[in-house]
Structure 1
Amino acid sequence: MTHDTGARRRRSIGWLIPALIVVIVVAGWSAFWFYAAERARDTMAGWIEREAHAGRVYACGQQSLGGFPFRIEIRCDGATASFEKARPPVTLAARSILAAVQVYQPTLVLAEIDGPLTVADPGQSAKLSANWALAQLSLRGTPRNPQRVSMSTNKLTLDSVGGDKPDRVFAAENAQLHGRLASGTVRENPVIDIAASLKAATARIHPLAATPFDFDGDTRLIGLRNFQPKSWAERFKEIQQANGRIEVRNMRLKQGDLLAVASGNLSLTRQGFLDGELTVTATGIEKLLPALGIEALARQGGNRNQRLGAALSLIDQMAPGAISSAVSLLGEPVELEGRKATRMPLRFKNGFATLGPVKLGQLPPLF
């Protein structure tokens, strides 16, 4: 009987030890989570304070912390961002932002933004409103040493809301923007890769942009002194002073039958104008000429531009293929993705852009 009692006691102790281990692990993990959450809160507070010194002020109407046990989630309702040193100053406001960090991967921050996002002059009512079905943001690295930033939106719309009713300015089924530090550090000689993508996009910048188009771009900025908070005009001036360049590694535009790709290197003049050359290969461009009216050939004259466009349309109707033959004279006949195309130089000099022998017009300086 004594033997049975001892055996029961050993079995009880046998169950007690694993239970104690589980309790210790849970308690330890809970303590670690709260410590990590507090560190995340402090890190965010430090980042907000650093940004405020640079003229970028972020605020939350209400903030909450959650995500236990494997994530640290910070929700900011009534989020606002004021960019006081931007030219012109601007204020952004979003319904809410939910940022999450995995406890075991603290250098990767994932966030979702609830629209609409409004854009306004400081102290004024909104003039632009952006909305979407889904907007996601990711940051790899730390606030002081970011390595990669990405943003993706589905069913993005941008409306002008300054008038009596909203006016659609831009829309895209999908829009993405990616930036990464290719070499250097944010504090010394950073080389930045920037990639953008638009799918089924339309824009109210030209009648041609009213037809949905796809765009992909991949560029590299070389010559930045650092990536501390400053305006893009200041960054472009740094590139010019360092004899840096903008590497257009690949750009691709597709709209209906039009397909164009481009690559090359661009620098900046002391006056802030683009200088350099891109190699453009395009197919289907002859269908755009009547709509464009070859603005440069018309010397940017509105009525003359319209008359030239009408004349090109008439020529195309009377002599199909005539415009295609003329386009081939702009450059070298080649093949692009199995289709006949024309390769031509797109040159930038002293602010003027020229496609082959055709002068397109003048571009504004970047600083």
Structure 2
Amino acid sequence: MQNVRLGIIGVGNMGKGHIRYLQAGEVTGVTLVAVCDKLESNLKWAEEQLGEQVLRYADPNAMLDSGEIDAVLIATPHYSHPELSIACFERNLHVLVEKPAGVYTKQVREMNEAWEKTNVKFSMMYNQRTNPIYQKLKDLVDSGELGEIRRTNWIITNWYRTQSYYDSGSWRATWAGEGGGVLLNQDPHQLDLWQWTVDMMPKRVRAFCYFGKHRNIEVEDDVTAFVEYENGATGVFVTTTGETPGTNRYEVVGDRGKVVIEDGKLTFWRLRESETEFNKRFTGGFGSPECWTCEVPIVGTNPDHKGIMQNFVNAILHDEPLIAPGEEGIKGLMISNAMLLSTWLDDWVDMPIDEELFNEHLQKRIAESPNKGG
């Protein structure tokens, strides 16, 4: 194969965004040959923007069975991501999925299991993994420069949303229509980066989710969570859509210093001697290791969605390693599922979570949702 023939399912806001850079030729080795959407208005937009050379479908199965495509980008509502991905895998089509991987881990695990039976490429649109500032943090952790991780803390509260935003669609911020609130809609990138940069998943979670605290919605719009890791480290995650001005500050503390990412800068307070070694030898009353404050240079810009798409295409054509393997989409989702389940149970939740129990609680809320039709 010298060129990937791509089909897109979902021509909403995200789908249109992907279409624009593809049509502008900003990703090489790929041609958009088909789009699919159940809304006639979106198909009409595609006809006006793309012309007759791009095929249009109302039924995704018809597009998948057409024989015209090699790979699919799924940019549909959250609940449908696993189902559509599995349909692609059954037809031996490569898959790139918009975030989140799904709404609950049981359906995402089934998606991953279906992929494992194939030899196709499977990626997530985790475009923040291409951001050089987070890549640099991961490098500092992976190389041992930061030492053993002891604490993580992410305050991500610059997701301000008004009531009019939620009122713009009946599916928004409902259990049946969207499957969750700030954790599922706004935070999937941060939840993914939280575990990816330190290469650790929490061992257990205690969270406090507030539902409709700031807006007239049924899902969570304010969350504070505490996690414990296997090595004894702890972490805190704070998020909301009802606060302005907001904060985006990610702090990681290790045995050899502290890293803070905020306002587009990465600052490393580097200990000349590890805290562990200093503590062993120090005999005075008060003291601390020598510390250097370093503004770490960040080289390059974030290629964003285009970077993940190019990587996906390169993986198909040249077997390039994936930046965001699709099977890893379950990780951030499990953290958000654990936060909700902890709140519903008013207790600690061990990881991996009880998927059946989570789904039981979710289905109860879907049944009570005003948007039962999805």
TM-score, normalised on structure 2?
0.28
Q: More relative contact order in 1 or in 2 (CA 8 Å, sep 6+)?
A: 2
Larger Rg, first or second structure (1 or 2):
1
Which structure has more strand as a fraction of its residues? 1
Which structure has more helix as a fraction of its residues? 2
TM-score, normalised on structure 1?
0.28
